[in-house]
Amino acid sequence: MRPNQLFRILLVTLVAIPSLPQGAVAEEGWSLRGLVQSLFGEGDDPATGEGPYPDPTVPRQPDAASPVPAVPVPGDAVGADRRVPGGNAEIQLSFAPLVKETAPAVVNVYAARAVPARQSPFANDPFFGQFFGQRFDSRPRMESSLGSGVIVDATGLVVTNNHVVADADEVRIAFADGREFQTTVLLKDDKVDLAVLKIDGEGPFPMLAMANSDGLEIGDLVLAIGNPFGIGQTVTNGIVSALARTHIGVNDFGFFIQTDAAINPGNSGGALIDMQGQLVGVNTAIFSRSGGSNGIGFAILSNMVASFVRAAREGDRFEQPFLGAGFAPVTPDIAEALGLDRPTGALVHEVGGGTPAAEAGLEVGDVILTVGDVAIDSPDALGYRLATTGIGGVAKLQILRGDERLALDLPLQPAPETPPRDERVLGGDTPFAGTTVLNLSPRVASELDLPMNKTGVVVTAVARGSYAARFGLRPRDILLTLNGETIESTEALETMLGGRFLGWRFELERDGRRMAQMVR
């Protein structure tokens, strides 16, 4: 820049400013440095006289020479009196009060189980066993898993994930303050992936109240509290990214909150809370290619958790209500044929005689549109709504039948155990030796995740090294015929196995496929 150009710029600047701004005048007249700092907002702070950066915690006094007064910093932004952010203008506030209130109710869960010792391959050999039988034997070892849990009752009821405590011989919980307690497992279910523990100690304990998860909306702020990677209790924040996520392979109900709050291994069973400090979900799974959080976490909704805890208090198993009907999703083609604006609802494609669905008046071809005031988008949504309503309740349905919309009351009942299960362990010199079998009923079918309309005899367990294991029998196999005769019950099967045969020809059903086998 040429000297004459610089002179012109300074001249125009001086002419444009009628008086020198505060900060440009020093004790011995004015300085160019003070002028530049004042023009670009880097002068000494008028309240403190210190510069070049003002203290943000000190309210700035309005400048008489400035047409726009400075905005004071909110007093709640500093000091001990903090509160949850209420808007963008308060984003500098803290979640600390909410965390202090809720974090004590989130605990670490330690589960341990004894793994049997590896047996020597020569242990049962009559000759080599005396030389090598003990050489390869090892002492039992303990395997442990680590997760998180949430206290939902001041008496000491803790909710966690089933996969945290599955097959555990001992389960302990630890508070963030270092206290540890033994627990008793009251109820666990791999279909829901939830478990309820009872702390072996005197309360009251800190707890979280459960929110109505139906009130959640996409975009709501949430906090995830847990023990990721076993490093200690941590808190992460995010929003509700999506609701009613399905088909993620975690449980049979397929209904989850999706959140971008960081969830990592060890967070399982931890709390997902809203801005009122209430439990809206139990953190359960993540979608990850690396094993760490990618901002896609899933939590079981608090309404499902509440229904599960209610079953644990009553000392009963958790189960879905038995309807005696089959449902399918409404496809775009079906929606168009039915005159629906969009594909929604659960299409009834099967109704069993004498079942609650039949008694309520459901018919094949009906489309269930709502349960109560809540719209049903899919069969998964229907199953979730009925499960959270619970056994003993009544679901008020709105259905579409042809061009009519009808209201039906559906009683929610447990699946019947007819015929009685009559459990038997089969032995002898037969292909079924080593199996545990039950009579199939709607209740047994529900427990084993089999179609409700199946009848006959089902395998529930196969002993290792048994004839049944050698011939390939598996749990959940439905035994149909033996040497041409239909297998109607466990008693009939045991009687048939007592006869003498030159060979064994039997048929079974596995995962919907019919299979035949011949053994001589």
Q: Annotated active-site positions, please?
A: 163, 193, 268
- Cβ neighbors of 325 (< 8 A, separation 6 or more) are 348, 350, 351, 352, 355, 357, 358, 362
- Cβ neighbors of 130 (< 8 A, separation 6 or more) are none
190 is in an annotated binding site: no
Buried residues in 223-240 as b, exposed as e (16+ CB within 10 A): bbbbbbeeeebbbbbbeb
Question: Which residue in 217, 240, 255 sits closest to 387, CA to CA?
Answer: 255
Q: How far apart are CA 46 and CA 23, in angstroms?
A: 8
* Residue 389: strand, helix, or coil: helix
What tokens appear for 512 in the block? 């919907």
Q: Distance of CA 283 to CAs 259, 272, 318, Å? A: 10, 6, 20
Report angle CA 190, 195, 199 to the nearest 5 degrees: 155
Tell me whether residue 496 is exposed, middle or buried, using C-beta atoms within 10 angstroms of its C-beta: 0 to 12, 13 to 18, 19 or more: middle
Q: Do you find a cis peptide bond into 265, omega within 30 degrees of 0? A: no
Contact 435, 466 (CB under 8 A): yes
268 is in an annotated binding site: yes
Contact 104, 116 (CB under 8 A): no
Which residues lie across from 187 on neighbouring strands? 196
353 is in an annotated binding site: no
* Residue 41: strand, helix, or coil: coil
Q: Distance of CA 109 to CAs 80, 100, 149, 430, Å? A: 32, 20, 6, 45
163 is in an annotated binding site: yes
What is the number of other CB atoms lying within 10 angstroms of the CB of residue 325?
23
Q: How far apart are CA 151 and CA 198, in angstroms?
A: 9
Q: How far apart are CA 384 and CA 371, in angstroms?
A: 10
Binding residues for substrate: 163, 193, 266-268
Binding residues: 163, 193, 266-268
